[in-house]
Structure 1
Amino acid sequence: MTMSQFFKPVLAIAVMMMAVTGAAEAAKPAKIDRRVDEALADFREDIGGGEAVLTRAKGVLVFPLIRKGGIGIGGEYGQGALRIGGDTVAYYSTAAASIGLQFGGQSRRQIIVFLDQGALDKFRSSQGWEIGVDASVAVVTVGAGGAIDTTQLNQPIVAFVFDNKGLMYNLSLEGSKISEIHRD
């Protein structure tokens, strides 16, 4: 098999995945805001201690729908909003790629909470922010009784990843690239 024969199917899969994930077209701000409202309401209602965490936040970056899929080569994409004081101040996208044993797809919600003003300011002034490179983000898990493990809340930036069944475990956000969506 030549390199050209190998890369044509890989490119076709990548293009198909981008179309499936919606990366080709930005959602309208009103749609993103509606989905962010729903994700935050579910977080407050379903995750013990969720309201207290949001109250402490200097800023909250919410991706209400991140789709991930792959066949050997995978990718994920989602759009969301940064909220400060309950108001949307900017829109962002998140994207990541992976290579390895994988087949299928999934979706999830992701909330990144900035508990430190300096960390939020650094994020907002960046021209593209990569988790694990530009900042370390602690992924918070659920402790006893289905409540947030508050021992992990001593970091400047924490993340919560959940689906319709609750918080998800053993996830790494390393390598996720977050970029502001500029609207004309």
Structure 2
Amino acid sequence: MRYTLTIVLMLLCATAGAQEPYQATVDIFKKSPEVQKFFQSAYGYAVFPTIGKGAIGVGGAHGKGRVYQNNRHVGNTSMTQLSIGLQIGGQAFSEIIFFASKADLRRFQTGKFEFGAQASAVAITASASAQVGTTGMAAGASGTSDQAGIQRAKYNNGIAIFTHAKGGLMYEAAVSGQKFNYKPL
């Protein structure tokens, strides 16, 4: 457990020095052709530059983010995830959540927003992990960016979720859920 937490903390510290992590994270996601259409059509989005995750049997993840409407920062958010199951390791990733309409963004802004086990996120880079979701990470490989989830990138119940792996290694077969808090500016 100590080594897992050390890895996650090192990954978090490595990204903490960036002057504007939110814009840098948005720029990374905008490089993906699959994600670009969501920037053009979404009513708003929440961006998390770094979410740190670690587990040995029981796991957790946490990250802080910002919420944007019409490319204007309208509030701050945090994400907390708890999981239980067969899992070990640590990782860091970025996450962006797009909201299709004003009602979808308002639902998130209630401060009681959660993703259940059925929500999943499309990974935008080629790596050892092809899909990240609140049910855990599915193993796979992709030869080029975005090929892992290109057919699944669409709104589901008014939201679309994308992740970008930053580092670490995590094996898991676990059940988890993400809970979000929101504070307006």
Same fold, TM-score > 0.5, yes or no: yes
1:159 aligns with 2:124: no
The amino acid across from 1:178 in the alignment is: F
Aligned to 1:175: 177
Moved more, 152-161 or 110-119: 152-161
Q: Normalising by the residue count of structure 1, what TM-score does the alignment of the two structures yield?
A: 0.66
* Aligned pair partner of 1:35 in 21, 25, 43: 21
Count of matched residue positions in the alignment of Structure 1 and Structure 2: 153
The amino acid across from 2:46 in the alignment is: L
Give the whole-Å Cα distance in 2 for the aligned partners of 1:60 and 1:174: 22
1:90 aligns with 2:75: yes
**Could you give the per-residue CA deviations for residues 116-166 of structure 1, whole angstroms, max 9, x where no partner exists?**
222112222x13211129xx755336699644636642431010011148x
Where do 4+ consecutive residues of structure 1 move more than 3 Å?
140-148, 170-174
Give the whole-Å Cα distance in 1 for the aligned partners of 2:163 and 2:95: 5
Higher strand fraction (1 or 2): 2
Following superposition, the deviation at residue 34 of structure 1 comes to 1.8
Give the whole-Å Cα distance in 2 for the aligned partners of 1:105 and 1:61: 23
1:69 aligns with 2:54: yes
* Aligned pair partner of 2:38 in 53, 56, 69: 53
Give the whole-Å Cα distance in 1 for the aligned partners of 2:174 and 2:101: 21
- Structure 1 unaligned segments of length 5 or more: list them: 1-12, 22-30
Structure with the bigger RCO (C-alpha within 8 Å, sep 6+) is: 2
The amino acid across from 1:99 in the alignment is: I
* Conservation of the 8 A alpha-carbon contact between 2:52 and 2:61: yes
Aligned to 1:132: 116
Give the whole-Å Cα distance in 2 for the aligned partners of 1:141 and 1:38: 17
Larger radius of gyration between Structure 1 and Structure 2 = 1
**Could you give the per-residue CA deviations for residues 86-142 of structure 1, whole angstroms, max 9, x where no partner exists?**
111111110011122222210011100001222112222x13211129xx7553366
Q: Normalising by the residue count of structure 2, what TM-score does the alignment of the two structures yield?
A: 0.66
Following superposition, the deviation at residue 48 of structure 1 comes to 1.9
Percent identity between the two aligned chains: 25
Inter-CA distance 172–39: structure 2 relative to 1 (3 Å threshold) = farther
Q: Residues 136-151 of structure 1 correspond to what in structure 2 (within 5 A)?
A: 137=119, 139-140=121-122, 146-147=145-146, 149=150
The amino acid across from 1:140 in the alignment is: V
**Could you give the per-residue CA deviations for residues 27-68 of structure 1, whole angstroms, max 9, x where no partner exists?**
xxxx899211111101112x1232221111101101110000
SS in structure 1 at match of 2:33 = coil
- Structure 2 unaligned segments of length 5 or more: list them: 10-16, 125-141
Give the whole-Å Cα distance in 2 for the aligned partners of 1:70 and 1:60: 28
